[in-house]
Amino acid sequence: MTVTITPAAGQQINRVVDKTIDDLVGQGRVKPEDKENARNGLYFRVSVQGGGCSGLQYNYSVGAKNDQDKVYDGSGARVVVDFKSRLFMEGSEIDWVENAFGAKFVVRNPNSKSQCGCGESFVV
């Protein structure tokens, strides 16, 4: 099984990673000429953590890949998921949704048995 990334999510993931790199350049932590190298070493990370109304929630961050991370490529973006989170996320689709209420990443997870009313947390 795998985790898939929709085209809308792929575009937003790349925007988030690029913004992170621009912030690092602005802070002087990455030289402007090293932006491409920095991009090759940074990944969009999705993890499952305890919390929320229903017990589990997704967390998003940008960082380096660890040895036990699995990389999922799709729609021009790279996502890493740690070993424990993979157990919850196999078969999921990551999407970017914009509507009248705002914009956010949405994970369509076939392992989720129910979720809270706001859709921010879930139960497997």
Q: What is the pLDDT of residue 94?
A: 96
What's the average model confidence in pLDDT over 69-92? 94
| Range(s) of the domain holding residue 77 | 4-123
- Rounded to the nearest 5°, which phi and psi values hold at 59? -125, 140
Helix (H) / strand (E) containing 79 = strand 77-81
CATH number at residue 50: 2.60.300.12
Distance, CA of 2 to chain centre: 14
pTM for this one?
0.86
Quick one: what percent of the chain has pLDDT higher than 90?
72
Q: What is the pLDDT of residue 25?
A: 96
Give the pLDDT band of residue 101 (cuts 50, 70, 90): confident
Q: What is the pLDDT of residue 53?
A: 60
Residue range 110-124, pLDDT digits in tens:
887 655 455 554 555
d(CA 24, CA 30): 6
Q: What residues does 63 pair with on adjacent strands? A: 43
H-type alpha helices, 1-124: 7-26, 35-41, 83-89
Residue range 55-66, pLDDT digits in tens:
788 999 999 999
Q: Which residue has the tokens 């490529």?
A: 73
Number of domains in the chain: 1
Q: Which residue has the tokens 């898939």?
A: 4
**Whole-number mean pLDDT of the chain?**
88
Residue range 11-39, pLDDT digits in tens:
999 999 999 999 999 999 999 999 999 99
d(CA 59, CA 1): 21
